[in-house]
Structure 1
Amino acid sequence: MSFTLATWNINSVRLREGLVARLMQEEGPDILCLQECKSPVDKMPLEGFAALGYAHVVARGQKGYNGVAILSKLPIEEVGAMDFADLGHARHIAGRLENGVVIHNFYVPAGGDVPDRAVNDKFGQKLDYLTGMRDWFRDSRPEKAILVGDLNIAPREDDVWNHKQLLKIVSHTPVEVDHLSAVMAAGGWQDVTRADIPEGQLYSWWSYRAADWDAADKGRRLDHVWATGDIATSAHSSRILRGARGWEQPSDHAPVFATFDL
């Protein structure tokens, strides 16, 4: 069984329904994981996606905020949704394919603007959320699993446009990178994207604040595809669809792809 998976922080699935449809029509991933859907599930435009072949859905929604969905051409059944740090947020959904592979779709809290939990509750919530992920994967170590999503951390020096300038900027601080590394180690996860593209600057997010995001190219790799060690070597053809960041009324994130032969 071979399938291509994409993950994309869509920044409102209702506002950007047309962009999702365009990705489905032009790229045709077998599975599309969305984050920051900003909609209850019953308000998501799922009928239109089903008409494009994505009839199988597992999702958690929330009015105006958060929200995660897995849209699939392949049959998939929901196997859980965790609320780490007890935030009451729709930030995780998991589904199992017929071949037994479990897909985890995450939207990790962004963490606010100040990387200090003493003065910024949101940063503390982010660290607590990551700790919850770590503990869960440590206690129920996953097998035959894929983890994708907007993890809101760019871990490597070449995952940001300027390592030294961003060391004190939320998403690239050492404490966040350490927390993410602990999640990865606890679950035996491997970074599929960087296994395929081991060298060079690589970004999946560019701020709306830049007058010309493409020319400035001050990006960060916040969106990730991981796999457990037992299936990680089956992954290949990783890529980031940078061009989608330039579509009309775009998300500030670009889709990340990987193909698995299982």
Structure 2
Amino acid sequence: MPFTLATWNINSVRLRAGLVERLMREEAPDVLCLQECKSPVELLPLEGFAALGYEHVVARGQKGYNGVAILSKLPLEDLGDKDFAALGHSRHVAARLENGVTIHNFYVPAGGDKPDRAVNVKFGQKLDYLSEMRDWFHAERPEKAILVGDLNIAPREDDVWNHKQLLKIVSHTPIEVDHLGAAQEAGGWVDITRQDIPQGNLYSWWSYRSPDWDAADKGRRLDHVWATADISSSAHSSRVLRAVRGWEQPSDHAPVFATFDL
């Protein structure tokens, strides 16, 4: 049975519960992974989601910051979480579907403004987080798994609106791209979005600072769907729902979708 999965940095799930419910009604993914929920788990607005069929939830949260949740129409088994770089943040959670597929939901640290760990602690934390992801995937190489989330890195030249201008901007610096690539290689992960859409500029995030984000189109592809090689060939129908960025009081991220025939 095929299932469709979506990932979305919601930038406060309580503030934007109505947008989550709208996406559930209009697009109805079987599994919806949210990042930056900014809420303790006990305060997540789950009743409205359950009423739309999303009765299964595996989540980790904290007050005001971070937070990840997997909302599903399909039964889930909680597989726990990892505190990479010992930040004490709710940035990862994993769950298993009844078909044996493991889903990892990540919210990688943004990394602050300056791409230099000597002057910016947050940038160092981001690199350390990615290094520990790499080491974990080396030690426990994943199988039959999907990794999604806001990884806060746009790795390819066509994942940003201007490669040359962004080379020294956090999220597209060579050292970040290298660290993300090492984590991807360690786990044998396949970038499903680019497997399906191999060519052309593709973005999932547009800054709130732009007065007309759509016309300016200064985007970055920060949100990703990966799968292990053993199931990557089952994936198809990847898409970024750009129009969602234009909904009223939106997140600055758009949802990213993929379907798996598993």
TM (norm. structure 1) is: 1.00
Correspondence 1:1-262 to 2 at 5 A: 1-262=1-262
Structure 1 distance, partners of 2:34, 2:7, is 6
Structure 1 distance, partners of 2:4, 2:101, is 13
SS for the counterpart of 1:224 is: strand
Unaligned segments of structure 1, at least 5 residues: none
Structure 2 distance, partners of 1:146, 1:169, is 28
Return structure 1 stretches of 4+ with deviation > 2 angstroms.
Answer: none
Structure 1 distance, partners of 2:242, 2:77, is 31
Structure 1 distance, partners of 2:57, 2:88, is 21
> What code does the residue aligned with 1:84 have?
F
> What code does the residue aligned with 1:80 have?
G
Give 1:244 shift.
0.2
Give 1:182 shift.
0.2
Which whole-Å deviations, capped at 9, do the CAs of 1:157-216 have from their partners, x for residues lacking one?
000000000000000000000000000000000000000000000000000000000000
Give 1:80 shift.
1.5
Unaligned segments of structure 2, at least 5 residues: none
TM (norm. structure 2) is: 1.00
Which whole-Å deviations, capped at 9, do the CAs of 1:84-141 have from their partners, x for residues lacking one?
0000000000000001100000000000000000000000000000001000010000
SS for the counterpart of 2:146 is: strand
Structure 2 distance, partners of 1:2, 1:80, is 25
Give 1:47 shift.
1.0
Which whole-Å deviations, capped at 9, do the CAs of 1:34-76 have from their partners, x for residues lacking one?
0000000000001110010000000000100000000000001
SS for the counterpart of 1:69 is: strand
Structure 2 distance, partners of 1:65, 1:59, is 14
SS for the counterpart of 1:49 is: helix
> What code does the residue aligned with 1:117 have?
R
RMSD: 0.3
Structure 1 distance, partners of 2:167, 2:158, is 12
Structure 2 distance, partners of 1:20, 1:144, is 27
Structure 1 distance, partners of 2:76, 2:192, is 22
Give 1:142 shift.
0.2
> What code does the residue aligned with 1:81 have?
D
Structure 2 distance, partners of 1:124, 1:46, is 35
> What code does the residue aligned with 2:105 have?
N
